[in-house]
A and B are shown apart, each in its own frame.
Chain A
Amino acid sequence: MANMSLEKIKMPEQAPDVRNKNFEEVAMGYTAEMAMEEATRCLNCKHKPCVSGCPVNVRIPEFIAEVAKGDFMAAYKIITSTNALPAVCGRVCPQESQCESKCVRAIKGEAVAIGRLERFVADWYMANCDEMPEKPAQNGKKVAVIGSGPSSLACAGDLAKAGYAVTIFEAFHTAGGVLVYGIPEFRLPKAIVQKEIDKLSAMGVEVMTNMVIGKVLSIDEIIDDMGYDAVFIGTGAGLPSFMGIPGEALVGVYSANEYLTRINLMKAYISDYDTPIRHSKAVAVVGGGNVAMDAARCAKRMGAEKVYIVYRRSEKEMPARLEEIHHAKEEGIEFHLLRNPVKILDDGNGQVCGIECLKMELGEPDASGRRRPVPVEGSNYVIDVDTVVMSIGTSPNPLIRSTTKGLETNRKGCLVVNEETNQTTREGVYAGGDAVTGAATVILAMGAGKKAAAAIDEYLKNK
C-alpha cells in the first residue's frame, strides 16, 4: 500500500537565521530512511506523467521503486542512464515546473519529492562508491569541447566513454561554468562539481583552463592546425545586460555576474582569498530569477543588514525556483514587487546611495503570456542602499561567433543548430546549452550536451 501522506518528507535544513551567515549548504539532504519513506509515496503510475516533465526523461518511477527497496546502486544506474549530473540536477532543477509538476500526487497535496530523491541517490553514490571510472579504450579520434559548464561536461563525458580523446578548453582558471562561478556554495557545493571534473579527467579528458577560444585559438585553428575531428561549443550565455538607467556607472553597481563571480569563484567570503568586494550595508538586487535570488542571498551572507529584491512583475511571474524564493524570504530578504528602477542615486562622491523606483500595475498579457507591467505615473520612491546588483538577464558572448567563419546566429546572438543533431551551420561543429537557447537551465544544457555527443559520435563513425 502506497504512503498516502499529502506532504513530502521534509528536507532537513539549516535554520534561516543561522544559514544566512554562512556559506554551507542550506538543505542537508535526506537520510536513507527518509528517502525510502518518501519513495513509498510514488504510485508507480503506468503512464508515468512525471517522466515527460523531465527534459532528459529520467526513468523516475523505476528509480524510485529501487529507492523504496533500498537498492540505491540500482537507482543510481537508472538515473545516470539519462542524466550525467544527478547530484547537480537534484539540487538545482526547477522541479516544480518540470518532473514534479506532472506528478499525479500533486493533484491533491504535494508531488513526490523527485528532485530530493535524485539528490539522495547521487549523494549516496558519492559517499559510498567512490570509484573513479577507468580510461576507456581510445578510438584514435579527437574532439574539442569549448567551455566547461553542464552542457560541455555532459558532452565530454559521453564522448570520452565512447573512446574519443577529448580536450576541454575553458576561459576561466577553474572548470565548471555557471556551476562554479554563478550558483553559490550554499546551493551547490563546489566539491560536487569538482568530482564530476575529476571523473572526466580519470576517463582521459584533458581540461585546459585559461584558454579563451576566439582569442588564443580560433575554432578553425582547432580543426585545421590541431587536428581535432569535431568541436562542441558550450560557451553559455554570459554577457550581462544593464538597464541603461542613470547612475549605472556609479561605484557600488555590479552586474550579478561580477558580484557572484567575486564571491563564488574567487571566494571573497573566505578571508584567505585576496578578492576585494564591497562591504555593503544595504543592497538592492534588480531581477526575479535564480540569479537574483543567489545574489541577494549572497549579499545577506556577506553581512548586509538590508537586502531587497526589486522586481517589475508580481511573485507569480518570478522565474526563480520556488524553493529559492521561499528560502530567500526566510533568510530575511525583502521583496519589492511590481517595482521598476528608474535611477540610481549618487551620494555626491560617485558612490551609490539609493535606488529610485516606480510602482507598476499588471496590465494585459504580453507575447510571453505573462501580464505586462505598466508604470503608475508619479509613484516614484527611493530605497536607501549602498549597493545595486543588476540581475536582469544575460545573452551569449559574441567572441566565438565573431571569430568563426560560417557560424550562423539568430537575432539574439544565439547559435543556430539543427534540432535533431545540435550541429551548427558548420559541418563538424556542434553546440548546446545556453549558447544556443539563451539563459536556460542546467538540465536543458546537460541534455543538449548529451544529444550533441551522440550526434558527434554518429558523424565521426561515418566520416
Chain B
Amino acid sequence: MFRIVNKKELNSAVTLLEIEAPFVAKKAKAGQFIIFRVDEFSERVPLTIADYDREKGTVTIIFQKVGLSTKLLAAKEVGDSIRDFVGPLGVATEYDGFKKVAVVGGGVGCAIAYPQAKALHELGVEVDVIAGFRNKEIVILEDEMSAVSDNYYLMTDDGTKGEKGFVTDKLKSLIEAGNQYDAVIAIGPIPMMKFVSLTTKPYGIKTIVSLNPIMIDGTGMCGGCRVTVGGEIKFACVDGPDFDGHQVDFDELMNRNSVYKKEEADLAEKHICRMDKMAHDLIH
C-alpha cells in the first residue's frame, strides 16, 4: 500500500498528490512515469512523475480528473493509501548538448512539462516556457513554471489571463523573432503536440513530444501502448514516452486512444456507485 502524504487541488479538475513510494523516489528522473491502481477493482493508469523527494521517499503526481480511475484517486485524502504504485517507467528524457529550449505545455500537460523544465533549468539550460490553457480558471503551476524558466509566456484561448491565442502562435513568433532553440519540448493534448510539431518542422527544430497512449503493464508485455514513429511500431512505455514529434503518427494515436470511449462512458454510472461506496467506507 502506498500512503498519500500531501494533497492540493490545483484547479477544479486538476489534483496534486504526494505519495510515499521510497523505491520509486530513489530512481525517478524527469520524463518517467508511474502506473497506479486505486484498489483491487481498479484499472492500471499511467501518470507522469511530476516531482520526487529522494530523502522523504515521496513521489508527486499531478492529474486531471477525466474518468473513473482519476476521480477515485482524486477522492483520496492525506493519510489514505492506494493499492499499487509502480515505477519509474519509461525512458528519462535526454538533454545532451542543449543550450536553449522551449518547453510548451497545454493544460494538464503543464504538469508533465514542469519536471522537464525544472531538470533543464537545473542543468543551466536557458528555458522558455509557453503554457496554454482554455481560460483563467484552469491555469495551473504558474509560479512553479515561472521559477524554473527564463521567460514564462502564459496563453489562454479566450484571453482571460496572459495573452489571447494558442501556444503555437507564441512559439512561432518567438522563433520568428530570432530565438535559437536547440529543441522544443511539447506536452499536452494530442492535437496540440501535433500542431507544435507542424510549427517547428519548417524550421528544422528538434521537437520532443510525450505520448500518452493507453497502457496496461508499462513494461513492454502487452503492446497496447504501440505507436507508429517514423513508420515503425514502438511501445511507448519502454521506447518512450518521449518521441521525435516530426516522426509520430498523431492521427493514429488519437484514434487508438478513443478505443474505450463507449466503455468508459458506461463506467460513469458505475462510478457513482463506487464513489458512494467509498464515501460509505470512509464514514464507517
A residues near B, CB below 8 A?
Answer: 171-173, 209-212, 215-217, 238-240, 242, 244, 248-252, 254-255, 257-258, 261-262, 266, 271-279, 350, 397-399
Contacts and interface: CB of A to CB of B under 8 A. Distances in A.
26 contacts: A171-B219, A172-B217, A173-B86, A209-B84, A211-B23, A212-B86, A212-B87, A212-B89, A215-B87, A215-B88, A215-B89, A216-B24, A239-B221, A240-B221, A242-B223, A249-B228, A249-B233, A249-B252, A249-B256, A254-B224, A258-B216, A258-B224, A266-B43, A271-B270, A278-B263, A279-B263
Contacts of A244: 233
B27 A215 contact: yes
10 closest pairs, A vs B, by CB? A350-B255, A258-B222, A238-B221, A276-B263, A210-B86, A255-B223, A276-B260, A173-B84, A258-B224, A251-B259
B263 A277 contact: yes
Contacts of A262: 216
B203 interface: no
Contacts of A217: 23, 27
A257 B84 contact: no
Contacts of B274: 274
B86 A251 contact: no
Contact of A255 (B37, B224, B256, B264): B224
A216 B226 contact: no
A215 B33 CA distance: 11
Contact of A278 (B216, B223, B226, B259): B259
A255 B24 CA distance: 28
Residue among B216, B221, B222, B267 with most chain A CB within 10 A: B221
A350 B69 CA distance: 26
A138 B222 CA distance: 39
B44 interface: yes
B180 interface: no
Interface residues of B, number: 43
Contacts of B259: 251-252, 278
Contact of B69 (A172, A209, A274): A274
Interface in B243-263: 249, 252, 255-256, 258-260, 263
A349 to B, nearest CB: 8
B68 interface: yes
Contacts of A173: 37, 44, 83-84, 86
Given A210-B85, A240-B222, A399-B238, 10 more contacts: A212-B219, A215-B27, A215-B87, A216-B26, A217-B27, A249-B249, A255-B224, A258-B222, A275-B43, A399-B220
Contacts of B85: 210
* Residue in A212, A244, A274, A350 whose Cβ sees the most chain B Cβ within 10 Å: A274
Nearest to B256: A251
A398 B24 CA distance: 20
Contact of B219 (A248, A252, A399): A399
A420 B218 CA distance: 34
Contacts of A172: 217
B67 to A, nearest CB: 9
A274 B224 contact: no
Interface string B43-83: 11000000000000000000000001100000000000001
A274 B43 contact: yes
A275 B103 CA distance: 34
Contact of B223 (A216, A240, A251, A272): A240
B6 interface: no
A255 B255 contact: no
A273 B42 CA distance: 6
Nearest to B253: A249
Contacts of B270: 271, 274
Contact of B44 (A212, A250, A266, A398): A266
A217 B23 CA distance: 8
A404 B205 CA distance: 35
Nearest to B260: A276
B267 A274 contact: yes
B42 to A, nearest CB: 5
B74 to A, nearest CB: 15
A276 B264 contact: yes
A42 to B, nearest CB: 41
B221 A216 contact: no
B27 A216 contact: yes
Interface string B200-225: 00000000000000001111111110
Contacts of A399: 219-220, 238
A397 B41 CA distance: 27
Contact of A273 (B24, B41, B252, B256): B41
A261 B218 CA distance: 13
Contacts of B263: 276-279
A388 to B, nearest CB: 13
B9 to A, nearest CB: 23
B196 to A, nearest CB: 22
A249 B223 CA distance: 10
B258 A251 contact: yes
B83 A257 contact: no
Contacts of A276: 43, 260, 263-264, 267
A255 B233 CA distance: 13
Nearest to B21: A210
A271 B134 CA distance: 36
Contacts of B86: 171, 173, 210-212, 216
Interface string B78-112: 00000111111100000000000000000000000
A274 B216 CA distance: 13
